[in-house]
Structure 1
Amino acid sequence: MTHTYQLTGMTCSGCENKVKSNLLILPNVTTVEVSKDINSATISMDNHIDLNALQAALGGKDSKYQITDLAPTNAIEEKKSWLETYKPILLIFGYVTAIAAIVSWQNNTINLMVFMRIFMAGFFLTFSFFKLLSLKAFAESYAMYDIVAKKFSPWGYIYAFIELGLGLSFALNLFPTAVNWVTLIVMTVSIFGVLESVLNKRKIQCACLGAVFNLPMSTVTIVEDAIMIAMSAAMLVLM
């Protein structure tokens, strides 16, 4: 279910990010969208959450952030299917797979090494693009679950450019051994935070496509990282 509330006290993007983060850690909250311009918060939740609990998450009744109900007509049921939820990432994987298959088609068969290299180039270039669209928002979301970004906040900013560099390196076939080792290490470290969040059933936003799409953290994110780990390891072995 999705409810829209009036939320006052936000004066900058930092306020918006703080409010969003505080609400996302509540049990049963799946997504949160806030706007300082229209003083609103739209919250999707698995089960209804009392207004007092929402206010407590924002610092209590004395907080500068005050959340109140709007008219009941603004509360709507919104249940998305699995396919609707993950449509953006499924489309990206479909396009990248198709391009990799076309480029790697040689002598009436697919060259596996070329396929994996082009797939990973497309993957990293596309995902880094969405992260760079709103780098600050990505870094803040990433710090909510990544084991490195939690302790070293600039890592979110660095990570987006690492993905960009890996994408370009795979596309140009530069230093393949070193690039695959970096991919293997970076993605292995990344998957630990994802596994922890999914196993603990934390309802937080996945930052894999930056802040553009509200994708919930789930096994899909684990599969995404695992594919990159498996491909980089396979390429190292086949070399």
Structure 2
Amino acid sequence: MSTASPASVDKRQRARVYRMKTAEHLCPFGMKTVSLLKRQGFDVEDHPLTSREEIDSFKQRENVDTTPQVFIDDERIGGYEEVRAHLGLSVPNQEGTTYWPVIALFVTAFFMGLAVSWATGDSLLTLRMPEYAIATAMCLLGLQKLQDVESFSTMFLNYDLLAQRYVPYGYMYPYAETLAGVLMLAGTLIWIAAPMALFIGTVGAVSVFKAVYIDKRELKCACVGGDSNVPLGIVSLTENLVMIAMGLWMPFRMLVL
């Protein structure tokens, strides 16, 4: 005789969700929680708390400090993140390193390089397509840093050798990277962009190599801003090596090819 699988049992479970839904505030985590439970096959009883009195009464009754609160089979699970953990799903705000911000940025830059190549040459694969993609990546990386230069410079000081000797370099770096990317994307003033990319790429590569492979330090990379959880390592080193390659290739192509 066949037995029901765990998945089929879970799909028959009932969940009660208590979430804030007042005229002043519609809780986004409450909406995300209800949507998640429905997608997971739960029969959801949605209980919006529509006034401050209802909210305070619920918190006092259940001895909780926040909403939403989810009950599955009369067992209190907690809020949105606790529900995700209970269901065996990833928790968005959990601590830990991730390469996803860098992966997303470089994939976006690659497709933007293809788009610019198509727009300027009516072909996806042109000689300049890799240049467009890398220059776009430099612009996007610079933009991430420019959102909070103070936080970037603080994290940057953990490993960059030049910034440790001359602190203002950490503040100048995002502007230099962005400017070099913009000029390379436009294919103009390469005599400024190429040396700039070559310089910051070389200093960065040496700094990352020393911190990671010689000193064996476990640090977070400031490549996508000062609040990232991207580990310092091969991705950061590759970013700097690509800038070095661009700093050498752009003048070579313009003067020799």
- Give the TM-score normalised by structure 2: 0.56
CA distance in 2, matches of 1:109, 1:174: 22
Partner of 2:109: 96
CA distance in 2, matches of 1:97, 1:226: 17
Partner of 1:203: 218
Partner of 2:58: none
Query: Do the aligned partners of 1:116 and 1:231 also contact (CA within 8 Å) in 2?
Result: no
Report the CA distance shift for 1:236/1:116 in structure 2 as closer, same or farther (over 3 A): farther
Out of 205, 225, 243, the residue aligned to residue 228 of structure 1 is: 243
Q: Which structure has the higher relative contact order (CA within 8 Å, separation 6+)?
A: 1
Partner of 1:186: 200
Query: Do the aligned partners of 2:110 and 2:134 also contact (CA within 8 Å) in 1?
Result: no
Out of 145, 149, 159, the residue aligned to residue 163 of structure 2 is: 149
Structure 2 counterpart SS, 1:171: helix
Query: Do the aligned partners of 1:204 and 1:217 also contact (CA within 8 Å) in 2?
Result: yes
Structure 1 counterpart SS, 2:166: coil
1:171-182 paired onto structure 2 within 5 Å: 171-182=185-196
Bigger proportion of residues as strand: 1
TM-align CA RMSD = 2.4
CA distance in 2, matches of 1:125, 1:207: 15
Out of 85, 90, 98, the residue aligned to residue 85 of structure 1 is: 98
Partner of 2:60: none
One-letter amino acid matched to 1:129: L
Structure 2 counterpart SS, 1:144: coil
Query: Do the aligned partners of 2:117 and 2:123 also contact (CA within 8 Å) in 1?
Result: no
Q: Structure 1 regions of 5+ residues with no counterpart?
A: 1-75
1:163 matches 2:168 = no
Q: Identity percentage over the alignment?
A: 27
Q: Please give the per-residue CA displacement for 1:13-39, whole angstroms capped at 9, x wherever unaligned.
A: xxxxxxxxxxxxxxxxxxxxxxxxxxx
Query: Do the aligned partners of 2:114 and 2:124 also contact (CA within 8 Å) in 1?
Result: no
Out of 232, 235, 244, the residue aligned to residue 217 of structure 1 is: 232
Offset at 1:147?
Answer: 1.0
Q: Please give the per-residue CA displacement for 1:179-217, whole angstroms capped at 9, x wherever unaligned.
A: 112211221111110000111220111111112321111
1:66-77 paired onto structure 2 within 5 Å: none
Offset at 1:115?
Answer: 1.7
One-letter amino acid matched to 1:103: V
Query: Do the aligned partners of 2:145 and 2:223 also contact (CA within 8 Å) in 1?
Result: yes
Offset at 1:107?
Answer: 5.4
| TM superposition outliers: structure 1 runs of 4+ over 4 Å | none
Query: Do the aligned partners of 1:130 and 1:212 also contact (CA within 8 Å) in 2?
Result: no
The number of residues matched between the two structures is 159
One-letter amino acid matched to 2:133: F
